Amino acid sequence: MPCHPEPVEGRRTVGAALRQYFDRLRTSAQRDTIVALAFIFALPLLALTPHTPVFTDASQAVAVDAGEEFFVALASNETTGYTWKQTIDDGKILAYEGNVYQNPGNGLIGGGGQQIFIYHANRSGSTTIHFSYARPFEPNVPPTKTLTFNVTVK
């Protein structure tokens, strides 16, 4: 049984059409140009593939490789004045790169979104990231929520 289906009479498979096209090219330079262009146009599609790990659950251990970036995404609603703040126990193991607020996908005014924190794993070891959810303009009020993520960098 053949690996590739035989073309229906009067029709060609994509592979057969490409082979015929490449056979018609007169020089290897033309073939190389076509292959290079195909690669260049395919590169943006590769960039769309998600590859950065996203962690949302503090009860699950975070394990990443040294040199890798990762995100921590936490439910948040900036319209209430509350925001997440973070601290890292060992800044030599992890580098905090910043955070962004992502509005809710449903477009509702006042709806909750998420705050996404960006980290870079510098070197192997274990550390902890502490999060507190509070209003920055109420410094004497304790946070309404706290979370702790345990991170292991391999």
The arithmetic mean of pLDDT across residues 10-38, rounded, is: 58
Asked whether residue 11 carries a pLDDT value surpassing 50, the answer given is no
In the chain, alpha helices (H) = 14-24, 28-47
In the sheet that 62-64 helps form, which strands lie side by side, from edge to edge?
62-64, 145-153, 125-134, 83-88
Question: pLDDT tens digits, residue range 132-141?
Answer: 999 999 999 9
β-pairing, 145-153 vs 62-64, is parallel
Q: Within 10 A of 55 (CB to CB), how many other CB atoms are there?
A: 20
Q: Within 10 A of 80 (CB to CB), how many other CB atoms are there?
A: 12
If pLDDT is split at 50, 70 and 90, which confidence band does 117 have?
A: very high
Using CA atoms, how far apart are residues 21 and 81, in angstroms rounded to an integer?
62
Please list the residue range(s) of the chain that carry CATH number 2.60.40.2020.
Answer: 54-153
Q: Within 10 A of 21 (CB to CB), how many other CB atoms are there?
A: 11
Using CA atoms, how far apart are residues 55 and 105, in angstroms rounded to an integer?
19
If pLDDT is split at 50, 70 and 90, which confidence band does 39 have?
A: low
Asked whether residue 108 carries a pLDDT value surpassing 70, the answer given is yes
pLDDT at 99: 94
Question: pLDDT tens digits, residue range 86-102?
Answer: 999 999 999 999 999 98
Longest dimension (CA), the chain: 80
Nearest residue to 69 via CA among 86, 82, 50, 44: 50
Class of domain 54-153: mainly beta
The arithmetic mean of pLDDT across residues 147-154, rounded, is: 97
pLDDT at 51: 74
Mean of pLDDT over the chain: 81
- More confident: 107 or 58: 58
Asked whether residue 5 carries a pLDDT value surpassing 60, the answer given is no
Query: In sequence order, which residues have a C-beta less than 8 Å from that of residue 143 and are 6 or more positions away?
Result: 132, 133, 134
pLDDT at 36: 61
Question: pLDDT tens digits, residue range 48-106?
Answer: 445 789 999 999 999 999 999 999 999 999 889 999 999 999 999 999 999 999 888 77
Write the burial class of residue 118 (CB in 10 Å: 0-12 exposed, 13-18 middle, 19+ buried): middle
